Structure 1
């Protein structure tokens, strides 16, 4: 069989794992991967997908090819198993969602940390650890120029290097601890604002930053 035909066959066989890895890349934030890391991950995901689905299809592959020779010319024909491909596609989506949820919620490594096997988390930095584990809270943000702003944390950047926050129900704090409410839905603090610290405040029953304890 010509080499390019075999290459196409190998590509189609490995496509579910690469599709799964592609979906994972778009739903998780984690340390940067090298190209080798991405290929190895896709191969492992392909192995898992075939390990789960192949018993239901007599341990076969989702495609096969036949060779037909006529008048000294050989033609090759691909035959695809569409039910098999459908279940591989569905499995790739489900595996990507499960894998992504595991990374985002740190399920596996949290269990391993409890067993004293590792101290690592699945997230890319302590920035992600803090904002993903501490939810639904007001924060006090100290800026590089000495100013402070308080507000309800709505969004945060994926990458620590970007260091951007969107605060709702926000107010500036002056040096005396007095709050100056920001009119409007909120304030976007970008990297240019120079975030120096983020204090996570205790939850309080309030709908307005004016009702927060002064100097919190």
Structure 2
């Protein structure tokens, strides 16, 4: 059975890795959700933080309890908590921010393209790229039956694989063709009626034929 001081030592050991991964996942537009990649990132941030903290600042985040008795370990933990260093936590957060921005701007893909190892220049699918680069722009969603929906995309699905495409529009207005007209609306010669909708969630994009971006 693991004693409390041993568990505490393990927690201190992995805490910078967890913090670095948490910050990275908040900054990055590509959320890591699967268990194995998450664990891999935690280990990476843990090693990077410890190497940097010890190599540059001479400060590790956890006390050395290997040769201590249980009583001695408790005393060392108590003393350690009174003089704990925040340096590894700051380093971990800095690494998380750095790698989050590198991921957002597809730096690795651009380097590989420059070295002619790859032709890709972005990590994003077109869906993610459009809504990331054109934030705040109004859209017109056109459907197969001729109706259209105009609004401001407050949220959009950021699934990295592009399997889930959803939109949440604010200040939305439906444009509904009058009569049996099935042409895109609004267009010349087509009578439409506007129906304010306020806020609209589009959970299924299978009936969408196009999404237009409206310039100011």
Same fold, TM-score > 0.5, yes or no: yes
User: How far, CA to CA, are the matches of 1:16 and 1:128 in structure 2?
Assistant: 30
Across the aligned residues of Structure 1 and Structure 2, the Cα RMSD in angstroms comes to: 3.5
Aligned residues of 1:141 and 1:198 also touching (Cα < 8 A): yes
Structure of greater relative contact order (alpha carbons < 8 Å, 6+ residues apart): 2
Aligned residues of 1:149 and 1:172 also touching (Cα < 8 A): yes
Q: Residue in 2 aligned with 1:211? A: none
Aligned residues of 2:156 and 2:165 also touching (Cα < 8 A): no
Q: Out of 24-33 and 37-46, give the one that drifted further.
A: 24-33
Pairs within 5 Å for 1:1-216: 4=3, 5-6=5-6, 8-30=8-30, 33-58=33-58, 62-65=62-65, 67=68, 75-77=72-74, 78=77, 79-80=79-80, 85-118=85-118, 119=120, 121-123=122-124, 125-159=125-159, 160=162, 161-168=164-171, 170-172=173-175, 174=177, 175=183, 177=187, 180-183=193-196, 186-192=198-204, 194=206, 196-201=208-213, 203-204=215-216
Structure 1 residues not aligned, in runs of 5+: 205-216
Alignment deviations for residues 157-178 of structure 1 (CA, whole Å, 9 cap, x no partner): 2235251231546452634625
Aligned residues of 1:164 and 1:191 also touching (Cα < 8 A): yes
User: How far, CA to CA, are the matches of 1:201 and 1:58 in structure 2?
Assistant: 53
**Shift in Å at residue 64 of structure 1?**
2.5
Give the TM-score of the pair, scaled to structure 1: 0.69
Structure 2 residues not aligned, in runs of 5+: 178-182
The 3 A distance-change label for structure 1 pair 75 and 62 is closer
**Shift in Å at residue 21 of structure 1?**
1.0
Tell me, what secondary structure is at the counterpart of 1:64?
coil
Aligned residues of 2:23 and 2:96 also touching (Cα < 8 A): yes
Alignment deviations for residues 70-129 of structure 1 (CA, whole Å, 9 cap, x no partner): xxx965333527666311122222222222222233333234334433326334x43212
Give the TM-score of the pair, scaled to structure 2: 0.69
Task: Write 1 or 2 for the structure with the bigger share of strand.
Answer: 1
